[in-house]
Every structure is written in C-alpha cells, then in structure tokens.
Amino acid sequence: MTTALVIGAGIAGPVAAMALQKAGIHAKVFEGHPTGADELGSWLTLQANGIDALAAVDAQHVVRGVGFPQPSMRFLSGSGRVLGRMSNGAPLADGTPTQMMPRAGLYAALRDEAVARGASIAYGRRFVDATPTGTRVTARFADGSTAEGDLLVGCDGIRSCVRQVIDPAAPPVRYVPVLNIGGFIPGMTVPDAPVGEFQMVFGKRCFWAYVVTPDGGLGWFANPPRADEPTAAELAAMTDEDWRTWLLALTASDRGPFAEIVRAAPGPLAGWATYDMPTVPTWHRGTMIVIGDAAHATSPAAGQGAAMALEDAVLIARFLRDAPDVPTAFRLFEQLRRERVERIVKHGARSSNSKAAGPVGRILRDALLPLGLRMAQKQNTDWIHAHHVEWETPAVSRPAA
C-alpha cells in the first residue's frame, strides 16, 4: 500500500489523513508539539465550504457540538452607527451553516476522528528535513528519528519547514499591519446582541468585535493597529496590564461594551502578530507538497483559513487517487487550487488593511462601507462560500480503452 507522511496535526493534517485513507493510501501523521496542538489558538470561524469539504469524506458530523451557528455579522462604526450586515453564506443543503468554535475543540475532534479511522499520529516529532530517493522520500525529525514513505504532505502552517525544504528560496511571510488578541468570557452577555451574530466595530483607533454564545458566554477579539512589525520578544514582554491599558486607551472614545469586555476578560491577555502568504511560487517538488497555510496563508479577516485548508486536504487525496503518479497529482492539484486561494488571500489582506486605516482613511471607510456592504450582499459570493468538493467524480479524465 502507498504510504503518505503527513507533517502537522492541526486542521489540515488529520483531514488529509482521513481523505488519504479513503483514497486507499495509508497516512502517518507527525506533529512537532509533544501533546498535540490542542491548547494553541483561540476561536475560529469554519465557513460552510469547509464543512462541505468534511462532508466529502463523511466527517462533517465531527464539528457538530464543537461550536455554534454563526450565520451573519453586523458592522458598526466607533460612534455606534450601524453600517450594515453581511451573511456568512448560505447553509449547506442539509441546513448546516457557518460555525464558530474553539480552535482547540476543532483540533481535538479532527484528530480523534482520524485516529478512529486508522491513521497514526506521532507527537513530539518536529520535522527538520527530507530527502527524496527515487520515488520514495525520507523525513528527518529533530529527535534524530526518520520515517520513509512514498510521498510527503506538508500541513505545518504558515512557518512551514516543509516549504523551505521544497524551495529554499521561498519568500518569507508578509506582515499585515494589525495585531490579534481575544478570548472567551464565561457568563457575560451584552443586551440587544443576538446570539451567534458577530458585532464588528470599526472603532476610531482599533477594530474590535464580540459575539454572544448560546451557552451564555461572550467571545471577543481586537485588532490593534501596528504599522511596524513587532518582534517576538516585544510581544512576549507585554504584560497582561500592558494589553488591557493599551486596548482601553485605543477604544476610549468608542461607543459600546468593549471597556467592560476588556476588564472582564480572563487573563493573562497576550496578543500575536498577523501574517499572510500572498504567493508561494513552488508548492511541490518531486514527491513532496505543501497545502493549507503552508501554501497560501490568509489573514484571519478573510474567515477562510480553516475552510481552505480542509478543501486542500480532501482534494489532494482525490488527485492522488486518480492521477497516474504522484508528481502529476501534485501538478494538477496546484492548477486547480492556485487561482482560488490566492484570490481569497487578497480579499483577506484588503479586509485587514481597512482595520488599520489612518484618520482620513477612517472617515472615508466609514462613509463608504455601508454602500460597500450593500453591494457585497447583492454580488454573488458563492465562489467563496458555496464551493463544493466533489469526491466521487474522477479528478483526472481517463482515456477510453
């Protein structure tokens, strides 16, 4: 049986393992963190197209109960003026809408399902290099161990080591000029905020948002603008008090409940920088390929990072199932995916940069945004949310006998 080495057990890795198993390819997953990635990240929005990708491998049930429906967003200015609403896309045919969920909950659900289907996941195996030998590939890990397979799929995120092995000249990640911080507050509700509808506030000096959850809590995040890229040491040096003081100062003139949210948020608060990958010129070499954030990371503003990773994870297995050989499968996969994912990355970058607008830009943004939202609602966005992953149809046309 063909064996695939899958690097990374976050979102794409376990689903790639499931899809590869369904395609008749044995998957071995290797995760660098010693106990998995369950404690990494906060909340994410899983758009309906991502759930559709899970349905292609009969795994859509794993997200039921992990999160809650998040069908729409309401946009407001810092003065409290309602700028408009936007749908998160139509639900799937079975009625499943876009879902919001803890990232850790999604990690655990996908991992447990992959293991239940026969995939192996080895923890504490940080990938450092790989050597192709003919039609085989040998992966090497920081602990000195190795693994050999017929192909290698890098699902190791935006700082992908697999990407660097495939192309040592790969471009670096691009800094997006906003930071991220957020969390969950149990037992906190906000009057007049519908359950499940995100309230997105373009504040005078900082973008912030919150959503009331069905269990009586509140999820929140903020994007403090930062024109220059902070170092990891700078961010690590910021204390809980530093973050709270800064967030309160940035939003002091905004209307709404953000001051109460910041004061009530469990600590310690810690933020992180935002990055994306506009274009990765080389996705694959020989029997190695990168997918998900390793190939096309988008800023969180697009709301599509998880969904695109899931689409990739299923489609790469479909091409490997139907193509005559591994390099052909990788080439055809990239031909299908590149235009779509890079278009979404651009969309995310535009959204993030609008959050960091200066004084004049804010005035123009708030004046034009209601019109932009109305136009967006009228435009066909099915290319994003209604994308369907077809599993049964052959990915490669076969010549007649």
Q: What Cα–Cα distance (Å) separates residue 120 from each residue in 5, 179, 256?
A: 10, 36, 48
CB-based contacts of 312-315 (< 8 A; 24+ apart in sequence): 312/12, 312/16, 312/337, 312/341, 313/12, 313/13, 313/15, 313/16, 313/18, 313/19, 313/53, 313/155, 314/15, 314/16, 314/19, 314/53, 314/54, 314/56, 314/57, 314/389, 314/391, 315/53, 315/389, 315/395
The pLDDT of residue 354: 67
Predicted confidence (pLDDT) per residue in 290-343, tens digit: 999 999 999 887 789 999 999 999 999 999 999 999 999 999 999 999 999 999
**What's the confidence (pLDDT) of residue 89?**
79
> How many helices (H) does the chain have, and how many strands (E)?
12, 19
Strand partners, 175: 275
- CA angle 46/49/51 to nearest 5° reads 60
pTM value? 0.91
User: Where residue 39 falls among pLDDT bands split at 50, 70, 90?
Assistant: very low
CATH number for region 3-67+100-173+276-366: 3.50.50.60
Of 141, 138, 140, give the one whose Cα is nearest residue 149.
138
Q: What is the pLDDT of residue 366?
A: 67
- CA-nearest of 45, 214, 20, 213 to 114 is 20
pLDDT of residue 375: 59
The predicted-structure confidence for 357-381, as pLDDT tens digits, reads as follows 666 566 666 666 666 666 555 555 6
Pair 110, 233: CB distance under 8 Å: no
What single DSSP character describes residue 148?
Answer: E
Residue 5 tokens, joined: 């080495």
Weakest mean pLDDT among 122-131, 220-229, 297-306? 297-306
Q: Which two tokens stand for residue 377?
A: 């609602």
pLDDT at 38 (0 to 100): 44
Residue 382's Cβ-side half-sphere holds a number of Cα atoms within 13 Å equal to: 3
- Confidence (pLDDT) at 26: 95
How much of the chain exceeds pLDDT 90, in percent? 72
* CA torsion, ordered 390, 100, 39, 277, to nearest 10 deg: 60
**Tokens representing 300?**
């969180």
Interval 281-289 mean pLDDT? 97
Two tokens, residue 141: 């890990």
pLDDT value of residue 74: 93
Per-domain residue ranges of the chain: 3-67+100-173+276-366
pLDDT band at 401 (very low <50, low <70, confident <90, very high): very low
| Radius of gyration of the chain measured on its C-alpha atoms | 21
pLDDT at 225 over 80: yes
Alpha carbon separation from 321 to 29, 315, 383 (Å, rounded): 19, 10, 25
Low-confidence winner among 46-60, 130-144, 274-288, 344-358 (lowest mean pLDDT): 344-358
pLDDT at 40: 44
Across 3-133, the runs of DSSP E, i.e. the strands, are 3-7, 26-31, 43-46, 68-69, 72-77, 82-87, 99-102, 120-123, 127-133
